[in-house]
Amino acid sequence: MISLKRYSNNAGEWDRFVSTANNGTMFHTRKFLGYHPSDRFQDHSLVFMKKGKPISIFPAAEVLEDNTRWLVSHPGASVGSLVVQENLAFADALVMVEQLVSYANKNGFDGIRLTQPPTIYSKRLSHYIDFALLQNGFSYVKREISSVLFLENSITENLAKFKSTHRTAVRKAEKSGVEIKLSDDFAAFYEILKKNLSIRHDVSPTHTLDELVYLKELFPNKIHLFGAFMENKMVAGVVNFAVTDNVVLAFYISHDENYQENRPINLLFYKIFEWAINEKFLVFDFGIFTVNEEPNMGLARFKENFGASGQFRDTLAIRL
């Protein structure tokens, strides 16, 4: 018998479950979700219990959109949905989604929306939750494509995956004097990022500088800024999140366009792949190159030229 209850501030138990789950990521932890100001979201996370023990958790918040009350998993994270054990049974997946829908109905929600972690984030490949969602009336709201690179045993093997133009760009950056190193100068990177996003997309970064620095303090071993420098000036950077033990996600990528001809981004990724291989990661996730299913073809080609391929990052919803 599976029961469902609302989360009640047991962060330690919650995060321990995420750490051993099949598809848990740093985005699912209370440690990550808790960085948001307390008044930003009205938490409505759920825990599924079986024989007195949690078998799934559902990080969520109440969101009001056009007078419609949604249960969203999770508005403050890149991915959400049900976090499950590695040995999840098909029957349990069906029951849990049935209970989720019933709970939302009983508690006056008008709908449920969630974003599934890409399959590469799972220890064991399973589509039980996807099937259960569709079986219970959920449908796809959007299917974004994320570029993923499967890391080889050595940087030499990964370099062989690069298109010739990218290999040439790496050599050009090295000859230009571009130096790659880990950095804590988030302020310098943030200026590059903010300027770039404003010029290209007329938007601001997802996080404020203070939030980004705070996240680094919370996850000192999971969040890393790699900077590209010329004459001690940062000209490009990538902020990586180690979202699981096997997967690194490039959360922010940006460069100073005045130095584009020096190809700092190409050398940055080459060095990041080398670091990731040494740290025993298996997959590098470049992030999505589609927005509301509209592809950025140039960005897609840029990532493909490193040897990347595409994976769905699916958002599903149901109106009640």
Write down the domain spans for the chain: 2-144+315-319, 152-281
Q: Which is the CATH superfamily of the domain at 152-281? A: Gcn5-related N-acetyltransferase (GNAT) (3.40.630.30)
Name the residue type at position 201. H
The domain defined by 2-144+315-319 folds into Aminopeptidase (3.40.630)
Q: What's the pLDDT at 158?
A: 96
Q: Is the pLDDT of residue 221 over 70?
A: yes
Selection from 198, 189, 201 nearest residue 253 by Cα: 189
What Cα–Cα distance (Å) separates residue 44 from each residue in 76, 107, 130, 225, 280?
13, 11, 22, 32, 36
Tens digit of pLDDT for each residue in 22-32? 999 999 999 99
Q: Do domains 2-144+315-319 and 152-281 have the same CATH topology?
A: yes
- State mean pLDDT over 150-156: 97
CB atoms within 10 A of CB 100: 26
The two three-digit tokens of residue 223, written as one number: 């969040």
pTM above 0.85, yes or no: yes
Beta pairing, strands 309-319 & 139-150: antiparallel
Cα gap 185→188, rounded to integer Å: 6
